[in-house]
Chain A
Amino acid sequence: MNAIVLVLIGFLMFYLGYRYYSTLIAERIFRLDPNYVTPAHRYFDGVDYVPTNKHVLWGHHFSSIAGASPILGPAIAMFWGWLPGFLWVVLGTVFAAGVHDFGTLVLSNRHKGQSIGTITTKILGPRAKTMFLLIILFLILMVNAVFAWIIANLFINFPGSVLPIFIEIPLAVLIGLWVYKRRGRLLVPSLIALAIMYAFIWVGYKVPIDVRGWVGQDNAFVFWIVVLMVYGLISSVLPVWVLLQPRDYINSHQLFLGLIVLYLGLFILQPDVTAPAVNTNLPEGSPPLFPLLFITIACGAISGFHGLVASGTSSKQLDKETDARYVGYFGAIGEGALGLLSVIACATAFATLDDWQAHYATFQKAGDGALSAFVLGASQLAEAVGIPRDIGAIFISVLIISFAATSLDTSFRLLRYILVELGNDYKIRLLQNGNVAATVGVLVSLYLVFSTDGGKGIGSGGYVFWPLFGTTNQLLAGLSLLVITVWLKRLGRNYLPTLVPMVFVFAMTLWAMVLNIQTYFAQNKVLLYTIGSAIFVLALWMILEAVNAFRKQHTPPGDHTASL
Chain B
Amino acid sequence: MSRLGHFRRVWSRLMDLYDEFFYVRYRSAVKRAHDDAEDLFLLLVFSELYGIPNPVSYYTLELLPHLHERFHEWHRRMGMERSPLEGIRCC
Contacts and interface: CB of A to CB of B under 8 A. Distances in A.
Check if A and B associate: yes
Interface of A: 46-48, 50, 52-53, 55-57, 59-60, 63-64, 179-180, 185-187, 239-241, 244-246, 248-249, 252, 313, 317
A460 B31 CA distance: 40
A185 B27 CA distance: 16
Contacts of A63: 25
A56 B24 contact: yes
Interface string B8-25: 000000010111111011
A240 B20 contact: no
B19 A185 contact: yes
A186 B29 contact: no
A316 to B, nearest CB: 9
In order of increasing CB-CB distance, the 10 nearest A-B pairs are A240-B29, A245-B26, A47-B31, A48-B28, A239-B33, A60-B24, A47-B28, A56-B20, A240-B26, A241-B30
A240 B27 contact: no
A415 to B, nearest CB: 16
A59 B21 contact: yes
B21 A48 contact: no
A56 B21 contact: yes
B18 A48 contact: no
16 contacts: A47-B27, A48-B28, A52-B20, A52-B24, A53-B17, A60-B25, A185-B19, A187-B18, A239-B30, A240-B29, A241-B26, A245-B29, A245-B30, A246-B22, A248-B26, A313-B25
Nearest to B19: A186
A190 B4 CA distance: 26
A405 B36 CA distance: 28
A46 B24 CA distance: 11
Interface centre among A46, A240, A246 (most CB of B within 10 A): A240
Interface of B: 15, 17-22, 24-33
B17 A56 contact: yes
A523 B54 CA distance: 64
A245 B25 contact: yes
Nearest to A241: B30
B27 A48 contact: yes
A241 B28 contact: no
A53 B23 CA distance: 13
Nearest to B32: A47
A244 B26 contact: yes
Output the residue of B24, B25, B27, B31 with the most chain A CB within 10 A: B25
A211 B26 CA distance: 35
A21 to B, nearest CB: 28
Nearest to A317: B24
B25 A248 contact: yes
Most buried by A among B22, B26, B27, B31: B22
A305 to B, nearest CB: 15
Contacts of A187: 15, 18
Given A47-B31, A313-B25, 15 more contacts: A47-B27, A47-B28, A48-B28, A52-B20, A53-B17, A55-B17, A56-B21, A56-B24, A57-B24, A59-B21, A60-B25, A64-B25, A180-B30, A239-B30, A248-B26
Contacts of B29: 239-241, 245
A367 B30 CA distance: 39
B18 to A, nearest CB: 6
Nearest to B37: A239
Contacts of A46: 31
Contacts of A245: 22, 25-26, 29-30
